[in-house]
Amino acid sequence: MTSELTIGFLPLVDACLPILAREHGFAEEEGISLRMVKDVSWATVLDRLLYGHSDAAHLVAPLAIATTLGRGRPAQSLSVPFVLGLNGNAVTVRPEIADVIGVSGKLTDPSEAGAKLALLARERKFAGKPLRFGVVHRHSSHNYMLRYWLASCGIVPDRDVEMETVPPPFCADALESGDVDAICVGEPWNSVAVEKGAGRIVLATAQIWRRGVEKVLAMREPVLEQRRSTVEGLIRAMRKAGKHFIDPENWDVNAQILSRSEYLDGDAKLIRHAISDRLLLEAGGEPVEYPDFMFQYREAANFPWVSQAQWLYSQMVRWEALEYSIEDAAKAGRVFRPDVYRSALSGTGDPLPSANSKVEGSLTQPTAVGAQQGDITLSNNRFFDGRVFDPADIPGYLASLP
């Protein structure tokens, strides 16, 4: 018996796992027929999920939490049984700004670039032309990572600079026309801007937080319960897709698949750069390798750590000036469903950690962690400013932030 499952997505490289699970037959092996529905805004991806046009969605992680907490729309409980990947975004700035804060031919150091940016932000504000940053959605990791970096460098986002929403396909145009001075977006949109000469990539978000949660597979909670066995099959299929995705042997064919019109409808060469952790920082330059630019498989990358959800909640409180509430923190944590992930992979030999939550940003070197199954060694997961997020003390963490 084949079960059908419809998944909504935006044309971004990190929609790769469900797409490849479908294209390489991993979903079919689990008896699942996947239908992919492409949209052009997160609002529409979310509406289709909430009104039953799709069963699951490729979603910016904070939006799953915001929806559950009723931010922006009436509250509806979403569940995340699988993290589609970590990081994979970059900060691209207009060339004249890259000249000031960047280093030619390589990614900049986030602290050094941030210090220069703080000076520039002050000058521009004084001149009555504050720096403008574009992010793809207010409830996106892009927004939180960018703000985290700015704030740690002494810039107060809503006071010293302007932040606005720019849809990914318009990012290159917005940079070129000067509507914004910088963007934080996923691939291939940084590369598109770079190829046009509209900007230069100065920073990968993985430099801000080495293991930052990015897109997730989100479902309505009741749908997850109804479709539980199908979802577990999908989790296994996407793990196989992840293994395939990171294998250099497959980079050409996967870039080709993702570039097709029904998926990203983009340039296979640029997509291949992102897949292979190589970034073209400036037009006419040579691609620069930055390991783990995207992180879709190793170190149980898809495991939905409750602490990741709670870090996102802490940033929502921070930037939307919400009152911290212990109930909301718990509710946010419950959006991530490590129990479903475990149950799907139990007995497959795929590594499963023994804990559901961890202190984020505490590792500076490879460290073996307790496992329910297999061996897991987690590597450096630091925030660039060395701060550590302990989910057991969110108020303390919030108080310590600038």
Partner 1 sequence: MRVAIVDESAARASIIEEGLSALDGCEIFVIGERHGLLARIAEIGPDIVLMDLGNPSRDVLEEYFAVSRALDRPIAMFVDESDEESIAASVEAGVSAYVVDGLAAKRIRPLLDLAVRRFNAFARLQSDLDEVKGKLAERETIDRAKRILMDSRGFGEPQAYGEMRKAAMDQGRRIVDIAEAIVTAHELMGGK
User: Does 164 help bind partner 1 (rule: CB under 8 A)?
Assistant: yes
Closest contact distance (angstroms) between CB of 67 and partner 1 is 12
Minimum CB distance to partner 1, residue 145 (Å) = 17
Residue selected from 169, 197, 285, 287 as contacting partner 1 according to rule CB under 8 A: 169
Q: In what order do the strands lie in the sheet with 162-165?
A: 162-165, 132-135, 182-186, 89-93, 200-204
**Nearer to partner 1 by C-beta: 162 or 195?**
162
Of positions 136, 202, 268, 271, contacts partner 1 by CB under 8 A:
136
Question: What distance, in Å, lies between the first and last C-alpha atoms of the chain?
Answer: 55
Residues in the chain: 402
Q: Which stretch binds partner 1 (CB under 8 A): 67-75, 94-102, 109-117, 275-283?
A: 67-75
Site membership for partner 1, residue 138 (CB under 8 A) = yes
Check residue 165 for interaction with partner 1 (CB under 8 A).
Answer: yes
Torsion over CA: 199, 202, 208, 252 (sign): positive
The nearest distance, CB 140 to partner 1, in angstroms, is: 9
211 or 220, CB closer to partner 1? Answer: 220
Binding-site residue total for partner 1 (CB under 8 A)?
23
Report the residue number, 50 or 401, with the smaller CB distance to partner 1: 50
Token pair of 390, please?
């302990």
Task: Give least dist CB 179 to partner 1, A.
Answer: 8
Mark the segment that binds partner 1 (CB under 8 A) among 165-173, 197-205, 305-313, 362-370.
165-173
User: Per rule CB under 8 A, is residue 176 in the interface with partner 1?
Assistant: no
**Considering the complex, what minimum distance in angstroms separates the CB of residue 69 from partner 1?**
13
Site string for partner 1, 37-66 (x = CB under 8 A): --xxxxxx--xx--xxx-------------
- Under the binding rule (CB under 8 A), the answer on residue 319 touching partner 1 is no
Helices 251-259 and 268-275: crossing angle, nearest 10°?
A: 130
| Cα dihedral value 13, 18, 19, 21, nearest 10 | 130
Distance CA 68, CA 36 (A): 24
The smaller minimum CB distance to partner 1, of residues 138 and 227, is found at 138
φ, ψ of residue 88 to 5 degrees: the values are: 100, 5
Interaction between residue 156 and partner 1 (CB under 8 A): no
Look up residue 310 and give its two tokens.
């709670």
Torsion over CA: 97, 207, 147, 142 (sign) = positive
> 290 and 276 in contact (C-beta within 8 Å)?
no
Q: At closest approach, how far in Å is the CB of 113 from partner 1? A: 26
- Count H helices, E strands: the chain? 19, 18
In the bound state with partner 1, the residue whose beta carbon lies nearer, of 32 and 60, is 60
Site for partner 1 in 68-87 (CB under 8 A): 72-74
Kindly state the tokens that stand for 96: 């004249």
- In whole angstroms, the minimum distance from the beta carbon of 52 to partner 1 comes to 8
Of 51 and 126, nearer to partner 1 (C-beta) is 51
- The DSSP secondary-structure symbol of 197 reads T
Q: How far is the CB of 120 from partner 1 (least distance, A)?
A: 25
CA dist., res. 262 & res. 281, Å (int): 28
Cβ distance 102 to 202 under 8 Å?
A: yes
Distance CA 21, CA 57 (A): 14
Cα(17)–Cα(311) distance, integer angstroms: 24
Nearer to partner 1, 221 or 390 (CB): 221
Quote the distance between the C-alpha of residue 192 and its chain's center.
18
Q: Residue 323 carries which DSSP code?
A: P
Nearer to partner 1 among residue 43 and residue 103 (C-beta)? 43
Give how far Cα 241 sits from Cα of 72, 137, 224, 254, Å: 34, 27, 21, 10
167 binds partner 1 (CB under 8 A): yes
Task: Give 74 or 284: the residue with its C-beta nearer to partner 1.
Answer: 74
Contact positions vs partner 1 (CB under 8 A): 39-44, 47-48, 51-53, 72-74, 136-138, 164-167, 169-170
